[in-house]
């Protein structure tokens, strides 16, 4: 490969004590001097022998230092080769990540601030790399970057070491993009809304199955149509960004990084518990004082709570010595039309082994709260226990749910959880339940009844709950067991039985227990509902629009700094790697030239067997589900920029 170095020597007002002949010799020997300059991963030319090096030193010694007032010798070299490359080393893992060591601390800080890059057509995340056990001095000395693109992408298409080296070398001297500093739309904080009612309301005289339609959300009595449409527009932007075809590949990484930049607290979780759910309950408990006043030795029910992070959190309070019970959907239970649970969502093994915790599965053994007889069976099992706390983290997401109607399909589960709490709690007990949006009259009616069943009712959205999601928590304290409670229980049970054990996917919605006109007559409740529903709606819409804007900026910025495989940066990286392998006795395929042919064949066979064993299962899974894939045609085009990172069929539906 020809040497790409471009050299220009210019002298202005020379004041050197050198004759013309010596000056010509100096010019002719510059190439010899440059040949002695060390470069990473290159070996010196073998033809530069000791005599040539000695001659170059003698020639360079004839050039005196210029006088103070004399202009200096100006030597302009192509910037890419003027100094050692910025990248010291690249260590790549088969798990879809790499560690890149840099020489330049300023470049490292720029990359950490940039956070993302597009390398070999794949979206990558960039973070500072250093071992957790490293001292401050070691952290300052080792200038490393951790670059990740993900194991799922790595299985199909990979980022090369040459691509990594070329990309970071190309950033030397490049202008820093504007807009890297993040401007957040609002500060993260806990959201708490008080719900209250003045008096009881008349129950609806007729109950029955209702049809779930988009209009039941759009015509909300507690939020303006403009705010709801603004939220739907934000969701559509998210979906459009998700469905946008490559390049670049693995674009969802941009959305995730954008969300983490704008809302860092809500994007973290699972640090102190086995999953994020435990962190959320911990925050809710701290915000409202959930466990204050709970008698030691009393019991709790973890309802629809698999795999059990909430049970773990409550059992960890050894000072309370709580007795725990769990009721959740069993994996593989139910018919084909029923909602299903994955094995990973069943109870943790350590809960089964805990002496103070018991799993309940209902009359039919499925753990399905909506099946006929299971709720009553569970309530009878708890009748002789002092249940002072009922926590419900039930929820589901399915492709069959129409856009923007998750709240309506969640209604029957919310009703069953509230009814279970009304049956099993003792006077003074507390109830925590996860909710989604609260636009519809059906949901509002259940919240109204909650204000009649408990002394205090709050809607809480902790910081650990994603700002871009609809999730929020109902926290009710001071359960009242009186005549009104009995009437509410009977009304809720009548509605619950109308579901007839059907899946919420086939029978999602029932008629409201209280009509909207009666709800609006209670001015106190109507005002508190409007404040909560509108406030959380506008906050979610603002957050989602901000995330899309930031993700689009990150992608544009990353694409503008991407390096083509035909660039001189890439070619130089390939050449350096070729020299490095040659210096270590390997050919371009990574085989040692000194090994005999038999050893090379055996090593190649072992590598092939390892590759088939590690990735064959994933290829089989992909092909088995290909005929169910409803994604656009470009998702399956096996081009280098698209081969991998297709989202799974179980796409997260949390934007609802």
By annotation, the residues acting in catalysis are 434
Give, in order, the Cα–Cα distances in Å from 576 to each of 87, 92, 166.
11, 16, 10
Helical H segments across 294-405, by residue range:
309-315, 349-353, 374-382
* Cis peptide bond upstream of 307, omega within 30: yes
Tokens standing for residue 477: 């304290």
Give the number of C-alpha atoms closer than 13 A to the C-alpha of residue 54, restricted to the C-beta side: 3
Phi, psi of 217 (to 5 degrees): -90, -45
Per the listing, tokens 């993040």 go with: 182
Decide: 100 and 163 in contact? Cβ < 8 Å.
Answer: no
Phi, psi of 252 (to 5 degrees): -60, -25
Q: Which long-range contacts (CB under 8 A, 24 or more apart) does 628-632 make?
A: 632/243, 632/245
Phi, psi of 534 (to 5 degrees): -70, -40
Tokens standing for residue 578: 């070729």
Phi, psi of 205 (to 5 degrees): -70, -25
Give, in order, the Cα–Cα distances in Å from 415 to each of 435, 508, 570.
11, 11, 61
Helix (H) or strand (E) holding 616: helix 597-624
What is the rounded distance in angstroms from the CA atom of residue 165 to the CA atom of residue 570? 8
Residue 88's Cα: distance from chain center in Å? 30
């Amino acid at each position: 490969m020809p040497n790409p170095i471009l050299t220009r020597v210019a002298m202005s007002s020379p004041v050197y004590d050198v004759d013309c002949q010596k000056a010509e010799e100096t010019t002719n020997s510059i190439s010899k001097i440059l040949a002695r300059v060390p470069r990473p991963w290159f070996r010196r030319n073998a033809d530069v022998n000791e005599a040539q090096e000695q001659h170059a030193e003698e020639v360079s010694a004839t050039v005196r230092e210029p006088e103070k007032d004399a202009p200096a010798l100006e030597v302009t070299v192509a910037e890419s080769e003027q100094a050692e490359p910025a990248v010291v080393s690249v260590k790549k893992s088969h798990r879809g990540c790499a560690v890149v060591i840099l020489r330049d601390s300023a470049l490292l800080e720029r990359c950490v601030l940039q956070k993302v890059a597009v390398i070999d057509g794949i979206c990558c995340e960039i973070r500072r790399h250093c071992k957790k056990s490293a001292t401050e001095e070691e952290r300052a000395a080792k200038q490393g970057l951790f670059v990740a693109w993900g194991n799922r992408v790595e299985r199909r298409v990979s980022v090369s070491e040459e691509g990594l080296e070329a990309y970071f070398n190309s950033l030397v001297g490049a202008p820093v993009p504007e807009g890297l500093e993040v401007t957040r739309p609002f500060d993260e904080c806990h959201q708490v809304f008080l719900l209250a009612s003045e008096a009881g309301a008349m129950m609806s005289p007729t109950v029955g199955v209702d049809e779930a339609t988009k209009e039941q959300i759009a015509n909300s009595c507690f939020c303006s149509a403009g705010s709801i449409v603004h939220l739907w527009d934000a969701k559509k932007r998210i979906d459009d960004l998700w469905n946008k075809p490559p390049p670049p590949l693995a674009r969802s990484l941009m959305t995730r990084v954008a969300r983490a930049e704008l809302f860092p607290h809500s994007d973290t979780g699972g640090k102190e518990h086995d999953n994020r759910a435990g962190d959320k309950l911990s925050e809710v408990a701290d915000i409202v004082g959930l466990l204050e006043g709970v008698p030691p030795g009393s019991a709790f029910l973890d309802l629809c709570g698999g795999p059990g992070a909430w049970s773990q959190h409550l059992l960890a309070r050894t000072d309370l010595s709580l007795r725990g019970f769990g009721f959740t959907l069993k994996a593989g239970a139910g018919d084909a039309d029923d909602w299903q649970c994955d094995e990973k969502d069943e109870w943790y093994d350590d809960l089964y082994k805990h002496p103070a915790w018991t799993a309940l599965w209902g009359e039919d053994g499925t753990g399905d709260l909506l099946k006929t007889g299971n709720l009553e069976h569970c309530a009878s099992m708890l009748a002789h226990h002092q249940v002072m706390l009922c926590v419900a983290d039930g929820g589901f997401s399915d492709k069959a749910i129409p856009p923007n109607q998750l709240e309506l399909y969640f209604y029957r589960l919310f009703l069953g959880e509230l009814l279970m709490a009304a049956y099993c709690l003792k006077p003074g007990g507390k109830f925590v339940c996860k909710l989604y949006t609260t636009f519809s009259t059906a949901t509002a009616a259940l919240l109204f009844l909650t204000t009649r069943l408990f002394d205090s009712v709050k809607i809480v959205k902790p910081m650990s709950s994603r700002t871009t999601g609809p999730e929020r928590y109902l926290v009710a304290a001071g359960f009242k067991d009186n005549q009104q409670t009995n009437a509410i229980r009977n009304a809720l049970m009548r509605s619950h039985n109308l579901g007839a054990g059907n899946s919420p996917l086939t029978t999602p919605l029932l008629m409201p227990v209280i009509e909207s006109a009666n709800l609006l007559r209670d001015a106190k409740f109507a005002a508190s509902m409007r404040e909560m529903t509108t406030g959380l709606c506008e906050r979610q819409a603002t957050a989602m629009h901000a995330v899309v804007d930031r993700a689009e900026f990150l992608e544009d910025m990353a694409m503008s700094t991407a390096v083509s495989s035909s660039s001189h940066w890439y070619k130089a990286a390939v050449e350096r790697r070729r020299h490095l392998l040659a210096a270590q006795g390997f050919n371009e395929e990574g085989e040692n030239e000194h090994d005999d042919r038999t050893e090379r064949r055996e090593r190649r066979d072992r590598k092939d067997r390892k590759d088939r064993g590690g990735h064959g299962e994933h290829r089989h899974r992909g092909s088995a589900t290909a005929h169910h894939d409803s994604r656009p045609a470009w998702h399956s085009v096996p081009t280098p920029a698209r081969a991998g990172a297709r989202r799974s069929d179980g796409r997260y539906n949390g934007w609802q």
